[in-house]
Structure 1
Amino acid sequence: MLAAWAAGLAACTLPLGTLAQVPDWALGRLLLMPRAGLSSADLGKALKPHGGSTRKLGQDNLHLLQLPVGASETAVLAQLKKHPHLKFAELDRRVPTALVANDPYIGSQWHLGRIQAPSAWDTSQGGGVTIAILDSGVLPTHPDLRQVAGWNMVDNNSNTADVTGHGTSVAGAAAAIANNASGVAGVAGAASVMPIRVADSTGYAYYSTIASGLSWAADRGARVANVSFAGVYASAAVQSAAQYFRSKGGLVVVSAGNTGSNDGSPAVTSMIPVSATDSADVRASWSSYGNYVAVAAPGVGIWTTAADGSYRAASGTSFAAPVTAGVVALMMATNPALGPSQVESLLYGTATDLGGAGRDIYYGHGRVDAAAAVVAARSAVAADTQAPSVAITTPAGGSTVSGVTTIDVAASDNIGVTRVDLMVNGKLVASDTVAPYQFALDSATLGNGSASLKAVAYDSAGNSASSTSLAVTVANASLLVADSTPPVVAITQPAQGSKVSGTTAVSISGSDNLGTAALKQSLYLDGVLVTSGTGGSLSYNWNTRKSVRGTHTLTAVARDAAGNETRTSVTVSN
C-alpha cells in the first residue's frame, strides 16, 4: 500500500530530463483580459493581426487566445502587452503541485493542536460551507470526504476522479469528516468538498484551467477555494479569477511553493498565499517565502486522506494551504454574514506572530490560529455602512476623446469593492469586477459633442458611491464631416430604347462611398413604385402583357443613409 501511495505521488512530477525539454507554458495559447466594455468587434480588431481564435473562460471577462500553428507565443505576447485596450496578457503557464514529500511514519495529527482546531470546533466545524479543491481530482468514494458535484476543467466533463492522488490528500487536510470514529479529521470537518480537476495526468495544471475552475466554483456557491500549485499567485489571469471569486463572497487560498527561496513576487490582494511550518513553529526549509506570503500554516507530516481510500501523511505547502482554507471555512460558518475582506482581516489579525515582529517575508502575518480566528469571527459585526470611494482618473475632465477611449477608475472600500459601473450620459455602458478597474468606450456610439462620464462603486454590503461627473468632448472625424457624396445607380437591364415583351427582367445596380449596406433602391414604372430594397442590387420581373402597348419609362432611385439621392431612367417599348 505504501508503494501504491508513493507511485501516486511520483505521478505528480515529471522526470528532470522531460522538464528540460518541455516549455513551462501551453504551446499556441495566451491568456488575456480586455478592458470592460470593449466590444467583441473591437477585441477582434486588436487580435486580428495575430490570427487564431478566442473564447471566453467562464463568466469572468478572461479570454483564451488560440494562436495559429507555428506562431510564437512570446512574440505575440510582447505585442499584446502594449495594446491599450487590454488589461493584461500572459503565457498560459504550466504549474506543478506544491508537494514535497511523503512521510508514512508520522503518527499523529499534530497540526490540529498547534493551530488550536479542537478549541475552534466547540464553536464551528465548517458546516454549510463548500470548499472548492482545484487539483488533480478527488477520490469520489473516499468514506472520509463529504463531496458535492464538481467539474473536470481538463476534459470538460463531470468526471472529477483523482488522476494522481494529490487532490484527495489536499481535500482531506481541509475537510476530512471529523468526529466519525474513522480515519483523520480535517480542519473543517463539517464542510463539503467541491472537486474541480485542473491538473492533467502528470500532475501539472495550467493558469487557464485554474482560472476557469475558480470562475466555475464561484458561480456555484463555493465560499472557499484551495489551489495547491506553485507560483499561481504570480499569474494575472489567476489573480483576476480570484478577484471574481471574491466578488461572489469567497476567498482563494494558494500555496507559497516549495523552492525554499524568494522569487521576488509582490504582495497580492486577491488571494491568500501560505508558507509551511513544522511542529516547532519554524518555516520548513523547502517552503518558499517573499512579500507575497500572507500567512503560514503547518505543512510537515500532515496526516490526511489518500487516493486508495486509506490515510497517509505528506508534506508541502500543498497541505499548509488547505489547513488555512479549513480555518477560513470555520470562520465563515460561525458568522456567514461576514464579507470576504472581513474574514481575511480577522484571519491575519489573529495569527500567531512568528519571526520578526509584524508581517514578514517568511510567515506573513503569522501562523494561523483557528480558535482565535473563530472567536474573532463570531463577535465581529458584519454590518457595513461605509460606502466606497471612487474617482475617474483617466481621461481628465475637459479632454477631447475619439475612437475607442480608455477610462481608468480608482475605487477602494473599508471591506472591499465588488463592482464598478461606468455610466455615460446617465446610462450604464459597462461593469468591471476586477481591480484595476479599466474600461474601453467606443466614443463613436455617442455622437460628437459633450458627454458626461461617471463611475459608481459597490461593496459587498450593497453600499455604493458615485464619482464626480466628468465632462469630455467627443470629436470623431468620421462624424464631423457630413456625407455629401450621392450614390451611383444604373439600370443594367433592359437597355435604353430596347423593345420588350412577355416577362422582362429589370436589374438595378447601385454603389456608395460609404458602402451599400444602408443603400435603399427603388424602381418606378411610369412614375409608379413597383419594388424597393436595400443593398447594392435590385431586380424586378415586369409582365409587359399587363402594360398598354407603347413607350414606357423605368426609373431607378438610390438613396444613402445621409439622404443623398440619385435617379436614372431608361425608355423602352412593348
Structure 2
Amino acid sequence: MSPTSDLASGRLAPGYDFIDDDTEAVDGDGHGTAIASVLAADHDNNAGASGVCGRCRILPVRVLQDRGSAPADGTTADVAAGIVWAADHGAQIINLSLSTETRSGLLEDAVRHAAEKGALVIASAGNVQPTARRYPAAFESVIAVGRSEYPTQNTDDDRWVDVVAASVGEFLNARGQWAAARGASVSTAIVSGVAVLGLSMKPGMSATELRTRIMAAAPLASGSFAASTVNAARLVYDLGGTDTVPPVVTRTDLTAGELIPRAGKLVQPMATDDHGIERIEYLIGGKVAGRAERSGASARVRVPEGYDGSVPVVVRAYDYAGNIGEATVVVEADTLKPGGIVISPARGAVVPIIVDVIVESPDDDVVRVSASWRASSYSLTRIPGTNRWQGSMAAPDTGEFQVVFYDASGNVGVIYHPVTVDSQPPTGGVITPKAGARMRGAFTSSVSNLVDTSGVAKAELWANGAFVGTDYSAPFALPVRTGSYSGNVRLVWRVTDRFGQARTMAAHTVVADNAGPALSISKAPKNKAKIKGATKVYVKASDASGIARVELIVNGKVVARDYTAGYLLGFNASKQKKTMKVQVRAYDKLGNVRYTSTRTWYRK
C-alpha cells in the first residue's frame, strides 16, 4: 500500500511484494491503500476519514497483480505465500479483501499455518450474489465477511458466511484526494478493524477466543440463516470496556397527542452516545411495547390491551455499558374492542335465506360494521344520525352469524347471533280426496300435514289448469265445482311459506262422475198393456261408481226397490188405479239418477 496523510509511513511495518518479489509492497491500483485506510486511518490528524482502529499498525503484503482499470488478480500460490509470510512476521490479524471460487489445498494449508501461529484470518465472501462458497473465507478457522446490504449468501443448509458489515468507505488516496471504496473488501476491512479493537481490550486473547467473541457479539437470529452485522461496541464492552455517559434520545418518532391505532405505529427512533447504542425500547406501564435493535432501526409500538385515553410512553435508549437515556411522550390510545347488539332479527329467530340485519353500537368511533356468514362477509350501512347499521346478507343454512365492529383505532369487536334459517319451501303434504276417487258435483279438496320452519302462509289450487282459489289458513281446503262434467280432474296445489318460498306439489287426479247409471227394462209388460195381479219388471242397471239401488215408480210413488244386480221389481196391479204411469229409476253410489221412459199400463 501507499502511505497517506491518514496513514503515515510510521504506522506501516516493513512488508513484502510477492508480485515483484521485493520488499516494496506498494499497490498500483489503490485497492490496498483504500482497505488499509478503512481499517486503520488516523482518528486525530484532521486530514481525512477515520479508520476503525486508528492506532493499529499495518503490515502490507502485496499478492495481487495490478491490471489498470480492471480489478487486480493473482494466483493461489501468491496468496498462500502472503498468508504464511504475514503469520511468520507476527501479524495477529490477517485481512484478505479478496476471494476465489476455487478451493485450494495450498490455500487451506496456508490458513492452517496462520492459525497455528496464533493469527486470525478474516476474508471476503466476495461481491457475487450466488450462495456458492468463496475461499479462503469458507475455511473453518477464517471469519467469512459479507456485505450488510446482501446478507443472503448463506442458505439454511450452508451457513458459511459468519458476519456482515457495511460495504462503503471513504479514504484519502496516495495523492491526498478523497476517494470511495465499495464492496465486500471494505466489509472485510471493517471486521478486521473490529477484531483489532477486541485485541486492544484483551491483548493476550487467542485467535480462537477472538473469533468466538466477534461471533457472539453478532449472533444469528433464532431460526434465521442470514449472517448478523458485526458489532464493535458490543465486542468492546463484552471485553470489559467502560462508559459512564448515558445516551441521548434524539428522536422518538411519536407526536404528543397522536392516536396510536390498535395495530401499533411503525417508528424509527434515534439516539446518540459517545460509544454506541445497544437498543431503544418503548415502555408503557413499565412494560416493553416496542423495541428497535439499534438507533435508526424500525420498531412497532403497540399499546397493550385495556388502555383508552392518554398514555405516557417512555422511550429508553441503552448503550453497551448499560447506561440509559430517556424521553417521554404522551399519546392517545384506544385498545378497547367495540361492541353492540343485534336489533333485528331477534336471537334465535326464523329467518329467510336473505336476512335483513340491523345492529346498534354504543361506541361513537365505530367506522365500519360487517355481518358474516361462514366465509362470506357483507358490509352494513350506517343509518344517518344514529349508531345503527343496516344491510342484508345471505345465510344459506342454520347456525350463528357474526357481526364485526371496527373502530377508528383499528380495534375489532365480534358478537355472535344464532338464528334458524328457512331456506326451503314447505315439504310433505297430504291431498284429499285420494287419487282416483270419484266425485260428483261440488267437492272439497284439501292439503294437510305440511311442514315448514317459518310456517305455511297460503295454498293455491288449480283444477284441470283453471285457477280455483287461495286459502290463507290451515287446514287448507277449497271447493271444486265440476258441474255436469264427467271425467278426470287434475288437481294441482301450490304451497307458499311466509318468506315466499313456494313448492308446486305433484298433480293429483280424481274422477268427476256427474252422469246417471246406464238403465233399461229387460222384461216387463209393454206400453199400454192390460195387467192384473202380481206384475214383475226385470231391470238392467250399471255404473262405474256402482249402483246404489233401483226403484219402480207407479203414478209417482215408489212401489218397489232392489239393491242387488239382476234387479227384479214387482207390485200388485190390482191395488193400483185403473190407469198406471210406470217408470224405473236407478241411483249410482254418488247419487246420480237416471229414469227410464214412462210406460202406461191399464188394470184389467
Please report the TM-score for the alignment, with normalisation by the length of structure 2. 0.36
Point out the structure with the larger strand share: 2
Please report the TM-score for the alignment, with normalisation by the length of structure 1. 0.38
Which structure: larger Rg? 2
Point out the structure with the larger helix share: 1
More contact order relative to length (CA 8 Å, sep ≥ 6)? 1
